[in-house]
Amino acid sequence: MRSPSSPPLFIALLGIPVAGLIAITLDLELSRLIYGQASPVLLSLEIASWVALLLLMLFLRSRLAFPSAPRGLYRDALDFLAMARWHAAVKISMAGLLILPLVWFVLVNRWMFRLFESLGRRALVLSDVQNALDGGAVIYEHVLVGGLPLLFALHLLCRWRPGSRLLPWLLLPLFFAGTAIAVVIMVTVVHFSR
């Protein structure tokens, strides 16, 4: 049986971040799909990037199952990309990155949901509704771009100190505060660069 060779692992090491970055960058197309103004080309690229991301992660997991899979820091990085052998604190942090922007979106845009109750799908033609949906997608972009590097650092810290049961949990508030600061900085830079 062949062992996992370096080129396939290296392809996954590069391919997963690239596919993820494309998926995050083009997530605006998903909100535009809701109100019918998505670009077919960009939407196809968005869907292809999500499919590629999933396939590369499954491929990487299968390669890491070999006994001769790499060890050390390289293995830790590959495990992060494969979403394999994550500490529970890292899983909760990832769930927070996905759930908290959604909670924020619902709380800030309660007016939009009331509008849907009264107008139904006709509300999708209103520019305020379209802007709110696009704003939700942009917030996800900023949260993921700001939070994923910190999530990787938390993952590495958990691997570096595997015996420390308390440290990863103590770092959770710092992780979320760091993500919030990164989002504020990115939004400020984008705002003043216009």
Q: State pLDDT tens for residues 132-166.
A: 999 999 999 999 999 999 999 999 999 988 777 88
CA distance 138 to 149: 18
**113, 106 contact by CB (below 8 A):** yes
Whole-number pLDDT of residue 2? 45
Whole-number pLDDT of residue 67? 84
Query: Three-state DSSP class for 67?
Result: coil
Residue 33, C-beta contacts closer than 8 angstroms, at least 6 positions apart: 43
Q: State pLDDT tens for residues 57-83.
A: 999 999 998 888 888 899 999 999 999
Q: State pLDDT tens for residues 71-129.
A: 889 999 999 999 999 999 999 999 999 999 999 999 999 999 999 999 999 999 999 99
* Residue 133: HSE in the Cβ half-sphere, 13 Å Cα cutoff: 22
Whole-number pLDDT of residue 1? 39
Q: State pLDDT tens for residues 10-22.
A: 889 999 999 999 9
CA distance 181 to 186: 9
| Token pair listed for 85 | 């052998």
CA distance 31 to 135: 9
- Report pTM: 0.88
Closest CA to 179 of 143, 135, 139, 152: 143
